A and B are shown apart, each in its own frame.
Chain A
């Protein structure tokens, strides 16, 4: 079937962009994004509290386990503990798994699936809207934390290269986790539970096991890109440090790109073939 004479048949890219346009506003003002704002707002508040505390302290440096640490180290710890290990996977799970599920639950998928566009474009457009939405909320919060913590015991300029690489790592993490969980959401029932088990059960467990199994995680490649040393504040962290077997930076970037592309392709293929039954 061809398009009418005065209409251009929409390509996959054009359809993806139109779904992106349609979805971005919906996603930005969703209840999920309000939760996200709270999630990324909390570390900013924490950073502000640390800055105030350090200003009140005579030496200006907060103490952790009795030792005084500077702003750059605090910033690195927050990136590592809050963003890389928690916020990024959580966002991937909650947004990625809901790309199609939300349309199914809201029963609005019908309107998108009865238009002359490839069904995969619906998933791709919503995926890019997720990326834009999370990047727009997460990265500014990181910059704010940097501005708050950087001057503690140092200068903003010193830690600037670290900030740039951290922003890149976060964007890559959001890309890869989002793609993996988009596939989980398109393919499986109860995707949120499975996503949470993957991100907070499977990944941390497998990273502790020596061998090749850890290569089947996203965290293995994301954490290899982090420019900060892992804080050894717990037995688990010390164990992870001891068993660290990090891939090189280029290998990690390539691996994350491959994971993202393959997971997205699989998700698109699933959406093309799967039947979504909307409850009346």
Chain B
């Protein structure tokens, strides 16, 4: 293990009864932004829970910012965690919730409120700060989770699938926020099952599948291998048919279909497609785009492809 690493794992394994969550992982995560890429069930969340000290290693060791994390609450002054699960105290307002959590960091009420306001402004939730979380949209819920993670300005931010369910504008803002955080000298570990998402935040990735780290390094090397692999995007929108008509003009769109109020697109060039989609959402002339998701089978197929090649 290197001492300069923000996270260092040495033969780290975690199993739940007979099920292996993480299998003999040795790695060292450098400072800056690191993407953890893998399909659902690959072990990303298990790794993140070990990094955040919620789980105890079954075997091996893990050090975060140079210290063991399990039963070391003092380390949480320097950590911020945004979990994947959509779980909240629904009756509290966003401001009350973030303030209450920041207060657990030993901050007095007035300062905690000020920090919560700042964090909510950072994720563009100032206008909704006084609304009950139960009334938030999926994207707003994602953002308020981010706010509680970064409100105390931690050195290391750990984000588990932070873009899931966000609309294109919120996605772009969140990606920019993560990049700004990295530029400010902080470290971020961000997980996703969408290569394009990770790629838009960092070039440094960890590829994980079936509890093992398959590769570490520059995203572009991986990208070259899978550039032509079709990528599916599920877009929930106010006017899906008009959106689809516009997509038909794009040369990277391979196929289109409708599901309820959504249009499902297969694209050969996800980066180009997402850029255009964000521009469309910002222009707003084809109605509101509510939610953009990408099914897990994209990456599953990519991994199968990588293993075969």
Binding site for B on A (CB under 8 A): 1-4, 7-10, 14-15, 18-19, 21-22, 25-26, 29, 106-108, 110-119, 272-273, 275-278, 280
CA distance A8 to B108 in the complex (A): 9
* Cα-based distance from A7 to B87 in the complex (angstroms): 28
Question: Of A4, A25, A107, which one neighbours B77 at CB under 8 angstroms?
Answer: A4
Q: How far apart sit A280 and B78, CA to CA, in the bound complex (Å)?
A: 25
**Contact assessment for A113 and B54 in the assembled complex, using a CB-CB cutoff below 8 Å:** yes
* In contact, A280 and B105 (Cβ under 8 angstroms): no
Instruction: List which B1-46 residues lie within 8 A (CB) of chain A.
Output: 16, 45
Q: Give CA–CA (A84, B26) in the complex, Å.
A: 57
User: Which of these, A8, A114, A278, contacts B79 with CB under 8 Å?
Assistant: A114
> What is the bound-complex CA distance between A14 and B107, given in angstroms?
11
Q: Nearest-CB distance from A117 to chain B (Å)?
A: 5
Q: Is there an interface contact between A114 and B78, defined as CB atoms closer than 8 Å?
A: no
Closest B residue to A2 by beta carbon equals B74
Counting chain B residues whose Cβ lies within 8 A of the other chain, the interface size class is 20 to 34
Residue of B at shortest CB range from A1?
B74
Known: A1-B77, A275-B55. A106 touches B87 (CB 8 A): yes
Interface contacts beyond A7-B106, A108-B88: sample of 15 additional A-B pairs, CB < 8 Å, sorted by A: A1-B67, A1-B72, A1-B74, A4-B77, A7-B77, A9-B74, A10-B105, A15-B104, A26-B89, A111-B101, A115-B104, A116-B73, A116-B105, A118-B73, A278-B54
Q: Contact residues of B with A, CB < 8 Å?
A: 16, 45, 52-56, 67, 71-79, 81, 83-85, 87-89, 91-92, 100-101, 103-107, 148
Q: With A10-B105, A277-B55 in contact, do A29 and B100 touch (Cβ < 8 Å)?
A: no
Among candidates B75, B100, B106, B148, residue contacting A1 with C-beta atoms closer than 8 Å: B75
* Cβ-neighbour of B76 out of A2, A29, A114, A278 (below 8 A): A114
Q: List 16 interface pairs A-B (beta carbons < 8 Å), by A numbering.
A: A1-B67, A1-B74, A1-B77, A7-B77, A10-B104, A18-B104, A19-B104, A107-B87, A108-B87, A112-B104, A113-B53, A114-B53, A116-B73, A116-B75, A275-B54, A277-B55
B77 touches A116 (CB 8 A): yes
- Contact present for A117 and B104 (CB under 8 Å): yes
**Chain A contact residues, majority secondary structure:** loop
- Is A3 within 8 A of B77, CB to CB? yes
Asked whether A275 lies within 8 Å of B56 as measured between CB atoms, the reply is yes
- Taking a contact as CB atoms under 8 Å apart, the answer to whether B85 and A110 are in contact is yes
CB distance from B119 to the nearest CB of A (A): 14
Is the pair A116, B106 in contact by a Cβ cutoff of 8 Å? yes
Cα A146 to Cα B306 with chains together (Å): 76
How far apart are the CA atoms of A164 and B21 in the complex, in Å? Answer: 56
A106, closest chain B residue (CB): B87
A240 → chain B, closest Cβ, in Å? 44
Smallest CB–CB gap between B302 and chain A, Å? 21
Quick check: A116 and B71 within 8 Å, CB to CB? no
A14 CB to closest chain B CB (Å) equals 7
Q: B21 — nearest CB in chain A belongs to which residue?
A: A277
Residues of A within 8 A of B74 (CB): 1-3, 9, 116
Cβ distance A163 to chain B, nearest Cβ, rounded Å:
34
Bound: A116/B52 CA distance, A = 12
Query: How many whole Å from B54's CB to the nearest CB in chain A?
Result: 6
